[in-house]
Structure 1
Amino acid sequence: MTTPLRYTAFATTPAGGNPAGIVLDASGLDDDGMLRIAADLGYSESAFVTPAPAPAGDRAYHVRYFSPKAEVPFCGHATVATAVALAERHGTGDFLFHTRAGEVPVTVEGAPGTPLRATLTSVAPHVEDVRAQDVTEALAALDWPAADLDPAFPPRIAYAGARHLVLAAGSRERLADLDYDMDRLTALMHRLDLATVQLVWRESASVFHVRDPFPVGGVVEDPATGAAAAAFGAYLRTLGFVPEASVLTLHQGADMGRPGELTVTLVAGDARVRVSGTAVPIA
């Protein structure tokens, strides 16, 4: 099926969450063809699927992700959307996605007639320091005064399949006011090899509001970002802001008029991060 499907992830209605294109049989497409479809769709990412050799009983696929501008190593919302689309056609259960970032197991659960829920397990994450001058440049591009940051959450670069610069806003109002210099932020992101900038505000011990500028992908902002959610979960655990075993709720997209909800689960003894959400077709 080379005709792209359209799904939205991390929402229960087509009006919410993050839309993704899905090509369930991309075996006849080359890189240029995939990029052209992604650009035509205009979503932050689209997923392109081909079967992968697997032991008996495993449902394994090669999955590649393209923004309107370039291929990206991993995309969380398109993973959730793709897994749900496959489950609607082949039944719920376990899938294995081979991505450029590594192997990503996905489990889909739910009953017919209700939005199915997919849980992806990230590749091994890590968190690294970021230079002060790079933080200064990011803030200048965002037009955020340094005093508007939450000093309790230091800037870091977090990875769980893609790299994200984590910056914590000191207030919900600061997070809501996003009007940045796209060219300046794009240049910094290319230099640091960032997928998005993960802007966060902590509502409570386990609830966060997040936004993700994504100019390197050709869109101003990503409405719901599974890869960044996984990276942020690793950030919180690595820096000791949440227990080793935690369930976190991330709200994203409300400021864009596309509200979505992502669940991040941290499991004791397993460095990988799980990100869950529903996905539904877009008519």
Structure 2
Amino acid sequence: MPEVAIVDACRRQGRGGSPTAVLDDANFTEDERRRIPTELGTSHAVFVRAVGAEHGRPLYALRFFTSEGELPACGHGTVAALALLAERDEVSDLDTVLRTASRSFEGRATRTREGVTAWFDPGTVSLRGTRAPELTAVAAGLGLAAEPLAGEARVASNGRPRMLLPVRSRTELAELAPDFALLRAACDRYGLLGCYVYSPPDRLGRAAARMFAPSIGVPEDIANANSTACLAAAHTTTGRPGNLTVDMGDHLGSPSTITATIERSHPEPRILVGGQAVITRTAVR
């Protein structure tokens, strides 16, 4: 009977966040892994396994599941896992290496009275322009006309491709009412994880976004850190500042915020993405 921590990841000013189930990995079947998010009322579950050390830092393997199956990556799930590790090890500052099926990467966390601030390296982001049929199909699923948009739509991937689609304002973003069956069909047809719709960042780099991913069993995500990293990468290619603060979850009654920061201390600038998190409860399944 494993103990499961429910972590609210990517909170905003001590509220909201995306509830995420985090537990030690064990000999679960694939069906059991898919059932856990549904049983616990979360969109995702993260399975954590200690596997030794790398470069003098503890190394943990992560696996991510929704009710539809396994994902190669999950940004807010990574934030949740880092928060649990920092709290469980009772360290002020956690510096660790995380491993998924495709890569190893750096993760950090800092504990405060309010909870944990965690951030990680989401990896290289690939970008391409959208093709007319996929843009038309996704926009129709969102209830939008493909033209005019507030800027160039892109397809971005740091694990699985998703569409980044700009709208003109936070108001237009809030008014979206997708047809999820139509949107899922479009995403399935063109091999997309989902669609990350965002309002233009203001002069301080603050934006709002909504992530729709019915193809993986998440009609709308409360927080999506990997897509925020993709947006930051897209903005660096246009000459705009890469640092972003993105508000999500308001439409679902759970305000969330993700930060994406360009770290320039390395030979090649890289993006670190993350947010605040807190363990809200534990459960035994």
For each residue in 1:98-130, what CA deviation from the matched residue of structure 2 results, as whole angstroms up to 9, or x when unmatched? 11342231100133x321100111111111122
Tell me if 1:247 matches 2:248. Answer: no
Superposed displacement of residue 72, structure 1: 0.7
Distance between the aligned counterparts of 2:177 and 2:123, measured in 1? 32
Q: TM-score, normalised by structure 2?
A: 0.90
Question: What letter matches 1:114 in structure 2?
Answer: E
Is the partner of 2:236 in helix, strand or coil? helix
Q: How does 1:17-166 map to 2 (within 5 A)?
A: 17-23=17-23, 25-55=24-54, 57-90=56-89, 91=91, 92-111=93-112, 113-147=113-147, 149-150=149-150, 153-166=151-164
Change (3 A) 1:47 1:237: same
- The alignment-based identity, stated in percent, is 29
Superposed displacement of residue 276, structure 1: 2.0
**Which of the numbers 256, 260, 279 marks the counterpart of 1:260?**
256
Change (3 A) 1:172 1:231: same
Superposed displacement of residue 169, structure 1: 0.4
Number of positions where the alignment pairs a residue of Structure 1 with one of Structure 2: 276
Change (3 A) 1:33 1:133: same
Is the partner of 1:220 in helix, strand or coil? strand
Superposed displacement of residue 161, structure 1: 2.9
Task: Name the counterpart of 2:11.
Answer: 11
Superposed displacement of residue 179, structure 1: 1.2
Distance between the aligned counterparts of 2:3 and 2:36, measured in 1? 9
| RMSD of aligned Cα (Å) | 2.0
Relative to structure 2, which stretch is displaced further, 91-100 or 220-229?
A: 91-100
In the alignment, structure 2 segments of 5+ residues that lack a partner are none
Q: TM-score, normalised by structure 1?
A: 0.90
Question: What letter matches 1:100 in structure 2?
Answer: A
Contact 2:206–2:246 under 8 Å retained in 1:
yes
Is the partner of 1:110 in helix, strand or coil? strand
